[in-house]
Amino acid sequence: MIDRRTTVGFLAAPFLLSGCGGDPSAARSGAAPNSSARTPTPARTPVPAMPVSAALRRIPGLGPAVMAAIPGLARQAVVVTGRGRDSPVSTAVLHERTEAGWEAGQTWPAHNALHGWSGHHMAGDLRSPLGVYTLSDAGGLLDDPGSRLPYEQSSGFVSPGTGFEGEPLAGSFDYVVAIDYNRERGRSPLDWTRPLGADRGGGIWIHVDHGGPTHGCISIGKAHMKALLRALDPDRHPVVVLGYADWLAR
């Protein structure tokens, strides 16, 4: 079963603990450090989960349980399909829902967490959380490339050091989209608020690929990140669907 208390909702944590981003100081101040002002956006009504009509074209690779977890109002779904439960290699596809059903876009190479996937993500487990989550906020070290989601440019989006395979991490957070796992929607991706508690991790983002596994995030190429930021439309209630192929097919 898909736990809807944690799907279609939460996400975020410290880089060295679980996810890829966050700063404990943000929890105390209520704002990201060294950040520019964000443009206020109207509060959005939570999207209810509704079954998808069998007459509509379904998303390839997704079984009935996962399709049913996609909110009925969602018109965009970024589907990240892992190679296996314990694999850090995956692909990402942005699907758009039309009158005829779901239409797939280009397939992008991607990475997920070093140890693969988890149905009960915990801080430091080096696994990406399984499930369906909303996408509400974006940001990055670089200027807004044309994001439709609220975007915060900040010097707080830094990624020092090297990855698990010795690759440099510089530039990984040039562009990010916060996945709404264990985070408050409508806030900076750098915000430290963790509704499920710090032990459940957080800071789970879609960000620029650095050529190796992540701590919990999803990463795709820089050009693909820019394209994704320009495509995601809050009026289309975008979600991300995360999992390895066998789990997604249930």
Distance CA 16, CA 26 (A): 16
CA dihedral of 135, 136, 142, 145, whole degrees rounded to 10: 80
Count of CB atoms within 10 A of residue 1's CB?
Answer: 7
95, 111, 207, 237: the catalytic one is: 207
121, 217, 224, 237: the catalytic one is: 217
The residues pairing with 93 across neighbouring beta strands, listed in sequence order, are 79, 107
Q: Over the range 216-234, which residues count as b (16 or more CB within 10 Å of their CB) and which as e? A: bbbbbebebbbbbbebbeb
Distance CA 219, CA 13 (A): 16
168 Cβ neighbours under 8 A, 6+ residues apart: 162, 210
- CB-count burial class (<10 Å; 0-12, 13-18, 19+) for 48: exposed
Distance CA 14, CA 203 (A): 6
- Nearest Cα to 121, choosing from 233, 40, 215? 215
Is residue 210 part of the annotated active site? The answer reads no
**Paired sense of beta strands 89-98 and 101-111, if any:** antiparallel
Is residue 111 part of the annotated active site? The answer reads no
Distance CA 200, CA 118 (A): 11
State the catalytic residues.
207, 217
